[in-house]
Structure 1
Amino acid sequence: MNMPETVFNHNLSAFFKGFYGDLLAPAAGIAMALAFAPFDHAYLAFVALAFIFASWEVLTPARAAFRGFLFGLGLFGFGVSWVFVSVRVYGGADLLSSVLITLLFVSVWSLFPALTGYLTSAIVRRSDHAINSLIPSGIWILVEYIRGNWFLNGFPWLQIAYSQLATPFSGYIPIIGVYGTGFLMALSAGLALQCHHGKRHIVTNLILIAVLFASGALCKNIAWTHSIGESIRVSLLQGNIPQEQKWAPENRDATLRKYRDLTEKHWDSDIIVWPETSIPAYYSEVEESFIEPLEREAVEHNSDIIVSLPMKGDQPHIKYNSILVLGIQRSFYHKNHLLPFGEYLPLQPLSGKILDFLNMRLGHFTPGGDNQTLPIAAGYPFAASICYEDAISSEARTKLPDAAFLVNVTNDAWFGQSIEPFQHLQIARMRALETGRYLLRATNTGVTAIVSPMGGIVKQAIPFETAAISGIIEPMGGLTPYAKTGDTPAISILIALLYLSEIKIRHRGARQRTP
């Protein structure tokens, strides 16, 4: 490395070690959040990753953790700001409590980039530049995996691969899934960052980055699944019922009448989908008066209606958040992956006492179980998910190859006219791309959409308006590579690479200590 390069790297290192780096960390986190819907500045994710990786390369583990936490405050503070809307407007908490709960929520998830920073710094400080792009990339994804699957039942929001639906990296999704794709993204950012270490790195790293982008672009053209039957006409209803009115007893008849009127305009469809809890009453309360007459009409018109409502179990304390298919063959699905602090309370009894103190009341539901029979509509079994379940990739993948399409019903009215519904649709689109299946996504207030097996939007309703959209889908068969293997290969390879990196670092240290 020549003298100008040495001076440049010294100045760069001093910048990232200093106070200005701390000031920029939340801004970099916000830039990362802007890579996701509805902003969709996808390439900002690479810039944000390069910044935080550069910070961790020169900081001590403790300082790297602090810098990661600041980054997380920007990422989650902006990216999940809709939590405040839910707690304040619809949870009924006072202003101070709403601010404190939101801050606590953001701080908890900010601990994950803090952990990533600590681990990265602790390892990178002992390594050489040849593997410095690999280490932070691998640790970032492993920590994302823990956050998305284990901690508090999983919170996969704002995982980096979700930002790449419109870039070449989306071509990797049906092959290696969200975590494998996220690693290749982070690796690209790390390779670009390592170019500053000298000319010998630039050509090699730029070639590797170009190969990653080009390979992803080529993979986008591969059709992993195929049609297995005649086209199906579908209609998705968006009632746009305000959350504060949804469960008021005096509004029930008007809500049911609204959905019934919308349905009657689409009897030419094979499948009509209503949103989550579109029937604001327990099944037992409306079975004779509403459900059975509606089912008879569906049979007369040779249609299947997919509705959603709560159901009581065999015991008083058991309640399900459910999907019900009305038609020639009635079938059910009970939500299995429940939303923490929304449909059940983890960290009991502490969480329950806190909510009691704040005078907040949340739902208490029972998981439906992993071994439910797939519901059937238009003669085909489908993979059903309710609201938050579409953020969990295994919920759809494990229902293949039997499921011919995906159906998600959601009520994002809990978050008002915030950015959450757009983020949620972006996440849901990944499930279509991973499985190679059409996705029918009906929401109460938005965003209702028909999604293609390639993850593209076929048709979308205008958010926050009463709407109905119709389109044609095809039942699909076959399996994508990801559907066959899941996340295990990608995560196993990452662990192996980090293990080999640690071995290399130890051997290098041993050689340096040898006289």
Structure 2
Amino acid sequence: MQRLLARAPRDIARSLPALRGWRRMAAGMLAGAGLAGAQPPLSWIPLIFLTLPIVLWLMDGTRRAMGAFGLGWSVGVGFFGAGLFWIVEPFMVEPEVFGWLAPVALIGMAGGMALFWGAAFAAAHRFWHRGWSRAILLAAAWSLIEFARGHVLTGFPWALQAYAWIDTPIAQVLALTGPYGLTFLTLCAGLVLGLARPPAIVAAGLLVAAGWGFGAWRLSPPAPVRADPVQVRIVQPNMPQNEKWLPGREQAFFRRHLALSAAPADPMPDVTIWSETAVAFVLDNDPAAQAAAAASVGPDGHLLLGIRRAESRAGGWAWFNALAALGPDGAVGAVYDKVRLVPFGEYIPLKGLTARLGIPALTTLTRGGFTPGPGSRVVSAPGVPPFLPLICYEAIFPEAARARGERPEWLIQVTNDAWFGEISGPYQHLAQARARAIEQGLPLARAANTGISAMVGPRGEIVAELGLGEQGYLDAPLPGTFPKTTYARTGDGPSVLLMVSIFVLTATVFRDGILKSRHR
């Protein structure tokens, strides 16, 4: 039996490269779908080490660059199709209008994102060889294209391989390398196993052990505590998206916010946070409602709420998805306007061209939309420790949480994950927000309409949370901060430079492997 188990990986490694045509594509899609199972909420990390060797063996069988592109694309389709299937949920809010777009969105998203992976595999194939370093070559090309995926056009760095580790000590490596660096190390460990040799297995094990050891060391000291305590309340109203803006329901939901905010506690919160676009009224357009919101947190409390606001500009009104700070008297202490807007959700790219297509559902979308704010910044408001705001999916961009100049004392994310359904999207979104806390060494308060709301410590640990689909509030002290992390100081530059250097070295100097080079 032991001999059989030992031979199995080698037998598979010999048979998979022989696959051709649709069989190769199907195997690639299955491997990609399996890799998606390592992402939250399943977080089946062993799948990384089961699927990535299969990808390497399939790559060994490719003969041309187009074949490698097709393999990478098929792996990507499997991964993004399984990992991003929640993308259909927003279209189900009004299925009679937008439901027909759901399969188009999923197929388009999976196929479009997979093009990046196809390009990575094609680039690696250009320098492919049979030496040991081919695994590192593919890991470097793959990780570099993930960096590109996070920045090209609007960028969409969702479901990076780094986030599979979010509930393990290895996630603490994010404080050193950021998500792209940890993605590279993850791909290295998994692909190296595909070499199916004892030294490769030992190397992969040592890499995982080193990350685990660093994480355990970073998690070992007691959590930092603030010198000046701040009590925070996070309100989760659990408003269904298909009812949120219905006439009559708007006021009921507003009263729900007021009641949850005014609930007695000892001590009473210093800062109360409402989720993204929490209320129907527009900032400064309904002074009575605004004053009622501010009064609900008590005479000594301060309210941060997601809200819409409008500015009169030449040619019409500009609308913003904003986060506002209200003082006890209802006065606006500070406003932050969302910078990174969701394409086709908060604005329509190439609006004029889209309108000319004449598709009724898309034409409806082109008539509205938000305007992006001037830029990310640390917000200071009376009575509130300086914070860096992240509205909704701004939290998936690691660079959005890096403050310029003054360092904030915490991160605040307000979001409406009701758009993401209840299966995987909210869990993946929370994991990425936790990653931002680790990277910056800062606590993060997360207010989500339908969940998951949480107070997150500076090592990504969940201090308190309200589960998905729950109505209520959570009170928690604002945790302390860690000193500025390596990643907070350097950003992605060192990791990208390392990946470029390794790609060049494995494509040239180590192309035939060190051992073979020594015998020449």
Question: TM-score, normalization: structure 2?
Answer: 0.88
| C-alpha contact (below 8 Å) 1:333/1:375 kept by paired residues | no
Deviation of residue 465 (structure 1)?
A: 2.3
**1:18-46 residue CA offsets vs partner (Å, 9 max, x unmatched):** 14443222221221111111111123123
Look up the SS of the partner of 1:345 in the other structure. Answer: coil
Corresponding letter in the other structure for 1:245: E
Query: Which structure 2 residues correspond to residues 128-167 of structure 1 after superposition, within 5 A?
Result: 128-150=130-152, 152-167=153-168
Residue 55 (structure 1) aligns with: 58
Match of 2:35 among 32, 36, 54: 32
Q: Distance in 1 between matches of 2:394 and 2:423?
A: 20
Residue 217 (structure 1) aligns with: 212
| C-alpha contact (below 8 Å) 2:377/2:404 kept by paired residues | no
Corresponding letter in the other structure for 1:83: I
* Change in 2 beyond 3 A, CA 1:359/1:178: closer
Deviation of residue 85 (structure 1)?
A: 2.0
Deviation of residue 495 (structure 1)?
A: 0.9
Q: Distance in 2 between matches of 1:475 and 1:276?
A: 25
Q: Distance in 2 between matches of 1:262 and 1:81?
A: 33
Deviation of residue 493 (structure 1)?
A: 1.3
Residue 440 (structure 1) aligns with: 445
Deviation of residue 394 (structure 1)?
A: 1.0
| C-alpha contact (below 8 Å) 2:13/2:54 kept by paired residues | no
| C-alpha contact (below 8 Å) 2:284/2:290 kept by paired residues | no
Q: Distance in 2 between matches of 1:270 and 1:443?
A: 19
Residue 122 (structure 2) aligns with: 118
Deviates more, 1:431-440 or 1:71-80: 71-80
Look up the SS of the partner of 2:323 in the other structure. Answer: strand
| C-alpha contact (below 8 Å) 2:302/2:384 kept by paired residues | no
Q: Distance in 1 between matches of 2:45 and 2:135?
A: 20
Corresponding letter in the other structure for 1:306: L
| C-alpha contact (below 8 Å) 2:127/2:511 kept by paired residues | no
Corresponding letter in the other structure for 1:388: Y
* Change in 2 beyond 3 A, CA 1:104/1:314: same
Corresponding letter in the other structure for 2:158: W
Corresponding letter in the other structure for 1:138: A
| C-alpha contact (below 8 Å) 2:39/2:163 kept by paired residues | yes
Q: Distance in 1 between matches of 2:420 and 2:384?
A: 35
Residue 306 (structure 1) aligns with: 304
Deviation of residue 507 (structure 1)?
A: 9.4
Residue 274 (structure 2) aligns with: 274
2:241 corresponds to 1:239:
no
Q: Distance in 1 between matches of 2:354 and 2:183?
A: 33
Q: Distance in 1 between matches of 2:400 and 2:475?
A: 26
Deviates more, 1:9-18 or 1:493-502: 9-18
Corresponding letter in the other structure for 2:202: I
Residue 199 (structure 1) aligns with: none
Deviation of residue 458 (structure 1)?
A: 1.5
Q: Distance in 2 between matches of 1:6 and 1:229?
A: 59
Look up the SS of the partner of 2:379 in the other structure. Answer: coil
Deviation of residue 188 (structure 1)?
A: 0.7
Corresponding letter in the other structure for 1:42: I
* Change in 2 beyond 3 A, CA 1:115/1:75: same
Residue 477 (structure 2) aligns with: 472
Deviation of residue 164 (structure 1)?
A: 0.9
Q: Distance in 1 between matches of 2:16 and 2:292?
A: 70
Q: Distance in 1 between matches of 2:127 and 2:501?
A: 15
Query: Which structure 2 residues correspond to residues 355-366 of structure 1 after superposition, within 5 A?
Result: 356-359=359-362, 361-362=364-365, 363-366=368-371
Deviates more, 1:397-406 or 1:128-137: 397-406
**1:317-358 residue CA offsets vs partner (Å, 9 max, x unmatched):** 321100011126711111111111111222454444458444
Look up the SS of the partner of 2:39 in the other structure. Answer: coil
Residue 294 (structure 2) aligns with: 295
Q: Distance in 2 between matches of 1:98 and 1:488?
A: 37
Deviation of residue 371 (structure 1)?
A: 5.9
2:88 corresponds to 1:88:
no
* Change in 2 beyond 3 A, CA 1:355/1:491: farther
* Change in 2 beyond 3 A, CA 1:265/1:6: closer
| C-alpha contact (below 8 Å) 2:378/2:388 kept by paired residues | no
Corresponding letter in the other structure for 1:238: Q
Residue 249 (structure 1) aligns with: 247
Residue 3 (structure 2) aligns with: none
Q: Distance in 2 between matches of 1:11 and 1:256?
A: 59
* Change in 2 beyond 3 A, CA 1:410/1:118: same
Residue 228 (structure 2) aligns with: 230
Q: Distance in 2 between matches of 1:457 and 1:427?
A: 13
| C-alpha contact (below 8 Å) 1:49/1:189 kept by paired residues | yes
| C-alpha contact (below 8 Å) 2:378/2:387 kept by paired residues | no
Deviation of residue 264 (structure 1)?
A: 0.4
| C-alpha contact (below 8 Å) 2:73/2:115 kept by paired residues | yes
Q: Distance in 2 between matches of 1:8 and 1:250?
A: 62
Corresponding letter in the other structure for 1:167: T
Corresponding letter in the other structure for 1:269: P
Deviation of residue 401 (structure 1)?
A: 5.3
2:49 corresponds to 1:46:
yes
* Change in 2 beyond 3 A, CA 1:253/1:95: closer
Residue 435 (structure 2) aligns with: 430
Residue 285 (structure 2) aligns with: 285
Look up the SS of the partner of 1:407 in the other structure. Answer: strand
Deviation of residue 445 (structure 1)?
A: 0.8
2:408 corresponds to 1:403:
yes
| C-alpha contact (below 8 Å) 2:131/2:511 kept by paired residues | no
Look up the SS of the partner of 1:194 in the other structure. Answer: coil
Residue 259 (structure 1) aligns with: 257
Two-structure CA RMSD over aligned residues (Å): 2.8
* Change in 2 beyond 3 A, CA 1:437/1:488: same
| C-alpha contact (below 8 Å) 1:299/1:327 kept by paired residues | no
Q: Distance in 1 between matches of 2:39 and 2:214?
A: 22
Uncovered stretches (5+) of structure 1, i.e. residues with no partner: 197-201
* Change in 2 beyond 3 A, CA 1:501/1:312: same
| C-alpha contact (below 8 Å) 1:171/1:218 kept by paired residues | no
Look up the SS of the partner of 2:339 in the other structure. Answer: coil
* Change in 2 beyond 3 A, CA 1:12/1:101: same
Look up the SS of the partner of 2:150 in the other structure. Answer: helix
Look up the SS of the partner of 2:509 in the other structure. Answer: helix
| C-alpha contact (below 8 Å) 1:279/1:309 kept by paired residues | yes
Deviation of residue 53 (structure 1)?
A: 2.4
Look up the SS of the partner of 1:195 in the other structure. Answer: coil
| C-alpha contact (below 8 Å) 2:458/2:482 kept by paired residues | no
